[in-house]
Amino acid sequence: MIIAPSLLAADPARFGKEVERANRSGADWLHLDIMDGHFVPNISFGPEVVRAVRSLSKLFFDVHLMCSRPEILLESFAAAGADEIIVHVELGEQVAPLIWKIKSLNKKVGLAVNPPTAIAEIQPYLDQIDLLLVMTVNPGFGGQSFIHECLPKIQQADAWRRERKLSYRIGVDGGINFQTAAECARAGADAFISGTTLFHARSLRTAVKKLRQIAHAHDPALADLKM
């Protein structure tokens, strides 16, 4: 199970301190949301911020590009210290060259699917990705409510993974709290990206631990073992 606090929900006036808090939290990854004001109606931060916080952390950096033209940004984010770069399947015919480019930069590849987009769009790329990211809100802002209609996509992604004996992770991003994480774990998710629930908790460390316990408790693979 991967627990990934999303920096978008941290206090931007104290990003350095917030990343140090994430370092001490027991989290596995730090999720960094990059918004270009075009693919989504919001702007977050760019490669210089990623580079600055990279120097403060050994966490795995999961960089989520919500950008219309990621091809012009991949090299900058790779050089800034991304470990994985996520692009969106909504970019259509750009997706295949983007995956190739991310791999050629020696970074792990994530592919995200927005709530209105069919999960079938991801199918051609399943054997080329490290993470399939099911967006459980319409991207652009933290603090939104989880969209339950996305749960069957997680089940489908998990079914494909078994059928084809693939090992990509299934991530969920948006509105993940202690309750929705349980629902996602039951459906087959194993990477939990969470901004508001983790960074706004009084103790980030306690919140990460609790989210991990809940994800484990609802993991169907572990339930099989118990039987």
Q: In the complex with ligand DX5, which residue's Cβ is closer, 114 or 156?
A: 114
The reply to whether 127 belongs to the active site is no
Provide the minimum distance between the beta carbon of 165 and ligand DX5 in the complex, in angstroms, as a whole number. Answer: 29
- Please give the single-letter amino acid code of residue 196: T
Contact of residue 194 among Zn ion, ligand DX5, none (CB under 5-8 Å per partner type): ligand DX5
Task: Quote the DSSP letter at residue 24.
Answer: T
- In this chain, which of 33, 62, 84, 190 binds Zn ion, going by CB under 5 A? 33
Contact of residue 23 among Zn ion, ligand DX5, none (CB under 5-8 Å per partner type): none
Q: Could you give the CA distance from residue 48 to residue 104 in angstroms, rounded to a whole number?
A: 22
- Assess contact for 158 and 170: CB atoms under 8 A: yes
Q: In the complex with Zn ion, which residue's Cβ is closer, 37 or 220?
A: 37
Q: In the complex with Zn ion, which residue's Cβ is closer, 38 or 164?
A: 38
The reply to whether 33 belongs to the active site is yes
> Residue 154, class by beta-carbon neighbours within 10 Å (0-12 exposed, 13-18 middle, 19+ buried)?
buried
- In this chain, which of 173, 191, 194, 208 binds Zn ion, going by CB under 5 A? 173
**Residue 102 neighbours by CB distance under 10 Å:** 27
**Residues in the site for ligand DX5, rule: CB under 6 A?**
6, 8-9, 31, 33, 64, 137, 139-144, 173-176, 193-197
- Assess contact for 91 and 67: CB atoms under 8 A: no
Residue 62 is a binding residue for Zn ion (CB under 5 A): no
Catalytic residue positions, numbered: 33, 173
